[in-house]
């Protein structure tokens, strides 16, 4: 019986050693798998970080571009408003000049109508023929 117990003990120890070796092998495989996953995750994180940095640069470039375009737009709108104001002033000056010319043409037409009237011609002829009047009397 003693031998039997020793044999059982040796067999149990062998089984235990086999299980320990199997557990150690499983542990090493799991550890290797975990290390591979960790390295893959580090690589993915590194790649994603680079992508984010590139995207951030693109976003900044786009924001800078938009800011420049807004500044250009504001500048061009100001220039356009100044041109519109200049055009309005020129148009108003033109309209004022046209109104003045029309008023002067109307006054000239009235003066011509007076000069062409029979009464005016008669008054002038009478004064000229009369001879008693000088140019200062008129």
pLDDT tens column, 61-86: 999 999 999 999 999 999 999 999 99
Distance between CA atoms of residues 49 and 66, nearest Å: 25
> How far apart, in whole angstroms, are the C-alpha atoms of residue 43 and residue 51?
12
One pLDDT digit (tens) per residue for the chain, 138 residues: 777 878 887 887 888 888 899 999 999 999 999 999 999 999 999 999 999 999 999 999 999 999 999 999 999 999 999 999 999 999 999 999 999 999 999 999 998 888 888 777 777 778 778 765 555 555
Q: How much is the pLDDT for 132?
A: 59
CB-CB contact of 114 with 120 (8 Å): yes
Query: Could you tell me the two tokens for 56?
Result: 């951030």
The Cα–Cα gap between 137 and 134 comes to 6
Model pLDDT, residue 31: 96
Q: What is the pLDDT of residue 93?
A: 98
How far apart CA 4 and CA 8 sit, in angstroms, is 6
With H, G, I as helix, E, B as strand and everything else as coil, classify residue 37: helix
Instruction: Give the Cα separation of 117 and 137 in Å (integer).
Output: 21
């Amino acid at each position: 019986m003693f031998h039997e117990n020793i044999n059982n003990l040796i067999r149990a120890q062998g089984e235990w050693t086999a299980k320990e070796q199997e557990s150690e092998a499983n542990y090493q495989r799991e550890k290797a798998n975990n290390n591979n996953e960790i390295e893959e995750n580090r690589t993915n994180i590194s790649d994603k970080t680079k992508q984010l940095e590139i995207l951030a640069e693109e976003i900044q470039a786009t924001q800078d571009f938009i800011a420049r375009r807004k500044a250009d737009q504001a500048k061009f709108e100001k220039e356009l408003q100044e041109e519109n104001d200049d055009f309005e002033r020129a148009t108003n000056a033109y309209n004022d000049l046209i109104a003045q010319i029309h008023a002067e043409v109307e006054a000239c037409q009235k003066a011509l109508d007076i000069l062409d009237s029979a009464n005016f011609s008669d008054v002038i002829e009478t004064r000229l023929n009369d001879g008693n009047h000088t140019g200062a009397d008129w």
